[in-house]
Amino acid sequence: MAKTKIVIGNWKMKLGAGQSLRLAESLRSLSAAGKFKGEIVICPDFTVLEDVGRIIKKTPIRLGAQNAALEGRGALTGEVSPLNLKELGAYYVIIGHSERREIMGETDALINKKMAAVLETKKLIPILCVGEKRRGQDPAAVFQKQLTADLKNIKIAPAQKIIVAYEPLWAIGTGKVITGKEVLRAHAAVRHILEKIYSPAIFARNFRLVYGGSVDEKNAANFAGLADVDGVLVGGASLTAVKFWKICVSLLKSARRPE
């Protein structure tokens, strides 16, 4: 079943507030070029989420967040409620990013609670990140462990959507290039596991799979036509408007190439 393609830009903690707003304004200008055959999402940090959302409000670009708390409301100092993200106009939220897992020590049990809290909002779409650390490690075994735990007892309503992002840690910022065959094998393994956890029908209706490992304007086209690849999650290349737009052109085709 053909699914809507999506390009997601994760700005991480790379930009100052002024830089974030200027980038959003540049993307707003580029987005006026034409219609899209897919979705574009940008995920700024929390400090500028509302302001960026205001800038892109009347554009085809949708707002995403980089993280969410494990409860809708509670005594969780320093955390950000998924309910508040929804109120600020976010459509998407990244959950279980490799940096959250590796640097911040997030466990699958914690990620499972975050997934439940996000889906309970009835509006936010989680972007659940999974992936192996080392090349040669069996990704299917890693996915089995992560997805089984991350989605434990998670029920999906017919209208709810989940994106699963494959992040091979060994290909992020290392200069190591992943092959199309490796991406296809990994995404096929994710699909197989999700079809077992839920069903082939629920997978087809509710899930999209995206690739997220050192995607840039030079290699994005390599992923555009691969089976089971419904889009890309972009890191560093999303911090430059023209580079990010070229990725959108590669994946979504109908966007006009910037001058």
Catalytic residues: 97, 167
CB 238 within 8 A of CB 45: no
CA-nearest of 58, 63, 66 to 39 is 63
Query: How far is the CA of 182 from the CAs of 30, 98, 140, 166, 186, in angstroms?
Result: 33, 19, 12, 11, 6
Spatial separation of the C-alpha atoms in residues 71 and 92, rounded to whole Å? 16
Beta strands in 44-124 (DSSP E): 61-65, 92-95
Task: Tell me how far apart the alpha carbons of residues 247 and 7 are, in angstroms, rounded to a whole number.
Answer: 8
Beta bridge partners of 94: 127
Backbone angles phi, psi at 217, to 5 degrees: -70, -15
DSSP-based helix, strand, coil % in the chain, nearest 5: 40, 15, 40
Other beta carbons less than 10 A from residue 182's beta carbon: 16
Residue 166 CB-density burial (10 A; 0-12 exposed, 13-18 middle, 19+ buried): buried
HSE-CB at 234 with a 13 A cutoff on CA atoms is: 31
